[in-house]
Amino acid sequence: MDKQREYLNNLRHSCAHLLAAAVIELWPDTKRAIGPAIENGFYFDFEFKNPISESDFPKIEQKMHEIVTRWKSFERHELNKEQAKKQYPNNPFKQELIDEFSQKGEKLIFYKSGDYWDLCRGGHIDHPAGGLKHFKLLSIAGAYWRGDEKNKMLTRIYGTCFPTKEELDKYLWQQEEAKKRDHRKLGKILDLWTFSDLVGSGLPLFTPKGALVRNLINKFVEDLQVKQGINQVWTPQFNKAELFKLSGHYDKYRENMFKVHSNYSKEEFYLKPMNCPQHTQIYASKPRSYKDLPIRLADFAMLYRDEKPGELLGLVRSRSFSQDDCHIFCREDQVVEEMNKALDMTKQIMDAFGFAYKYRLSVRDPHHSEKYIGDENTWKKSEKISEEILKNRKIEYFVGLGEAAFYAPKLDLIAKDSLDREWQLSTLQIDYFMPRRFKLSYVDDKGKEQTPVMLHRAILGSSERLMGILLEHHAGAFPLWLSPIQVAVLPISVKQINYSQKIKDILENYDIRSELYSENKTINAKIREATLQKIPYMAIIGDKEASKSNISNLLLEKTVFVSVRTREGKDLRMISLEKFIKILKDQIKNFS
């Protein structure tokens, strides 16, 4: 962990102590549980005698500011079991932790600031009175003790803390902006997808507009893959358990897989959570020579993973999704070249979507070898090659210990959106083990059988997940090339409807997706509706535009005029349809 991240974690953990101290002063009968630092903040779990709400936050924050002035340091104390238990005479949560730590032979460490002290393993700042100034309580939620629904439900208070007021203000602004950009809300407003209790949670249903955006994203990647000599394949949605036993998913990933029941077969089947095991069977379907390699197979088939209900989140965490999976079977001397090609394509795609990004080099945790398949030397080799590729390309990266897949290290792309939030998108993996497990082979130039290396590559990750991220990144205003409706044709009155219909037909002849607003509404109402639907352009047609146009020859776009307005409210005034179409085509070509 770098020093900046370590300090931030210590700051937030210290603030969790401060929150608990304030709560205990305000409600002395409250029982404390645990309060760790988490990403972007901290939380503390309590059992209150009477319920509290977020309306109590100002009172708690005021008390926190009052208390912290008396906190000069965090003093470390070591107690024996009996002494520790006396600190929590009626607190079953702390008593349970003390018993557990004692049985493991761990020391019972307490940290004290001012009049408050608590059982804690440490991780605090040195000068709390000076450092704990810029904090905010955020929300309340229910949380089972130790995450077990059989245990008591506690009250969890979430908060955040930063070293400076500017950082705190920026984060709070981001949180408010994120609420406005929530893709679940925008998806409903823009009529892109829906969910149904009859279909099942985590299983999105795409409307015509949503399916169009999804297909545009997929086609963009598919067209690039064709240029790289990548061949599209298609594989079944469910497969025999034996396939996943060989790949290792049965032992290492089965809890995330949906089991399929057959009325006629006693065989065990599973919905596929990824495409790699199926692609090995396409490779294995006939003999291969070194001259055939690399063999590149891509698959946009649907995948299914049994996510926990509480972890589902619209499109960014669902149970059904498609992945731009590509698996490259190559010789070892081709690995670096193929990895670089995949990284080149990734850069092209990220540039088109407008994401800044860095990479996480996800490696195995050597202290938990039971999580992985394969031998240590091969793991070291694949991790070394992966890191050298990043260094040679001068790509910014950081190491993610324990983040590797169970079969290979990963180059995970972490994209930053317009709110500076980070999302993992693409992944690239060098896999020596799965080809061995499936006994894949090719004949080398000396006539000997060799085992190919298998590269796993998914640039978008999930196209559905990317769609949700893009919605939030653009606040619902997709770039022109991705917008399901690119131009709203708005007649000012019913007199221009027939003429407007012809304008719409011309636009669609040029593959410009358009919609005619023919309802008997005011032009301001139509503009407002098109703006709320985030349609990039509005072509407004009234008597002035119609009188200037050569209506008898609508096929000559240079003689036809429209007044153009953008969704941001910019007025491009009256221009020829020919010029308007050129503006649109140039933007689409440049993915803007």
Residues of the chain with CATH 3.30.930.10: 188-473
**pLDDT averaged over every residue in the chain:** 91
Q: For the chain, which residues score pLDDT lower than 70?
A: 1-2, 549-558
- Identity of the residue numbered 228: Q
- Residue stretches of the annotated binding site for Zn(2+): 276, 327, 456
By annotation, the residues acting in catalysis are 276, 305, 323, 325, 327, 410, 456
Dist CA 430 CA 386 (whole Å)? 8
Binding site residues, as ranges? 276, 327, 456
Q: Which CATH code is given to the segment(s) 188-473?
A: 3.30.930.10
CA dist list (Å): 316 to 203, 313, 399, 514:
12, 6, 24, 29
564 contacts 580 by C-beta, under 8 angstroms:
yes
Does the domain at residues 3-171 carry the CATH identifier 3.30.980.10? yes
Q: Where are the beta strands (DSSP E) in 444-503?
A: 449-450, 453-462, 487-491
pLDDT in tens, 501-539: 988 999 999 999 999 999 989 999 999 999 999 999 999
Q: Element (H or E) spanning 239, and its range?
A: strand 238-240
| pLDDT per residue as tens digits for the range 338-390 | 999 999 999 999 999 989 999 999 999 888 888 888 888 989 999 999 999 99
The Cα 74–Cα 110 span in angstroms is: 9
- Two tokens at 514? 């358009």
> DSSP for 488-547?
EEEESSGGGHHHHHHHHHHHHHTT--EEE--SS--HHHHHHHHHHTT-SEEEEE-HHHHH
Indicate the SS3 state at residue 471: helix
For the entire predicted model, the pTM comes to: 0.83
What does the alpha-carbon distance between residue 55 and residue 177 come to, in Å, rounded to a whole number? 22
Query: Which part of the chain is CATH 3.40.50.800?
Result: 480-589
- Where, residue-wise, is CATH 3.30.980.10 in the chain? 3-171
**The sheet that has 75-79: what strands, in order across it?**
75-79, 108-113, 116-119
pLDDT at 317: 92
Q: Please state which CATH class domain 480-589 belongs to.
A: alpha beta
Query: 467 burial class (0-12, 13-18, 19+ CB within 10 angstroms)?
Result: buried
Confidence at residue 286, expressed as pLDDT on a 0 to 100 scale = 95
